[in-house]
Structure formats: structure tokens, C-alpha cells
Amino acid sequence: MKQCEANCAACGNVGTPEQAEKLHAVIEESKSTPGCLMHILQEAQGIYGYLPMQVQEVIARGLGIPLSEVYGVVTFYSQFSLTPKGKHRISVCLGTACYVKGADKILEAVEKQLGIKCGECTADGLFSIDSCRCVGACGLAPVMMIGDEVYGKLTPDKVKGILDSYREVQA
């Protein structure tokens, strides 16, 4: 942790000392490679699960670039997240086929069951909800995914049972 403490105070504000050391190692290994920012951001998100401002500050400082440059890349690409994600990541498709078949009602049912809104994570870290534009399963509309599992031909009344099956695994 000495390297981390010497380099920045921000590391103590997020995650574990081990995560901070991994982040610094990634920055050190990659900083001499042109165009390394994307790689470092991907690795950092893998370490932390998301990219909080403190992590972005560490990356900017480590690369000697403005924080605004790091933040601009993070907010431009949808693969990066500024907020924590749950163990079970839910994505409700709001593409045309799904929307026409009631995907908005599916999203409302998920939000109601979990007590959170789209883009948020449950307090226990078990679930997070996002929406997407298409998962390529239009014939099964409306569709939601939990991790890599696709649930199709959904109705709002099926949502509770699906979520409960994930809750039971945790019990």
C-alpha cells in the first residue's frame, strides 16, 4: 500500500487496499503504451465493478492527463458505469419489438419488485437494473436478461417468480 499512499489519497476512499494496488499496477504496466486509457478503464472496471470518480482521479493522475479526459471517455462509452452494479445484472430490452409488446410494463414490474429505479442497485448489492435497446431476441419479446440468461415472452406477473428464483439461490 506504500506505493498507493505515496501516489494518491483518493485510493483510500474507495475499495480495498488490494484493489488500489491492482489499479496502480495496471496503470504502471500500461501507461507507456499509446492509447492505453481504454484498456486501463476496462481493467479498473473489472477491479472495482464500476468507475467511481475517485478511481477516475487515480487514473488521470497516473497517466498525467486531465480528469475531464478520463471522465469524457467513461461517459461516452456505454460499457462503462459510474454506479455500482448488482451481483445479478438485469437488463430490460426497450427495443421496438419489446416495447410494442409491453417492455415498459416489465421494467415497471422489476422496479416495483426491487424497490429501485432503472440505473440503480439494491442496497444489498444483489440486483441492479438497466435498460437496453436490443438483445437480438425480438421473436421472444418482451425480453429481459439477468446476467447471460434470457427471459422472453414476459408478462409483469412473471417477474416476481423470476426474481425470487435468484433470491432463493442467495438464501
Number of structural domains found in the chain: 2
Specify the pTM.
Answer: 0.72
21-56 pLDDT per residue, tens: 999 999 999 999 999 999 999 999 999 989 999 999
What residues make up the domain containing 51?
2-76
Give the torsion sign (CA, 40, 44, 46, 52): negative
Residue 83 lies in a domain: no
Which pLDDT belongs to residue 171?
A: 62
Give the torsion sign (CA, 27, 15, 171, 163): negative
Which pLDDT belongs to residue 97?
A: 97
Q: State the average pLDDT over residues 76-102.
A: 94
Indicate which CATH number applies to the domain containing 100.
Answer: 3.40.30.10
Which pLDDT belongs to residue 169?
A: 78
User: Do 92 and 59 share a structural domain?
Assistant: no
Residue 2, pLDDT > 90, answer no
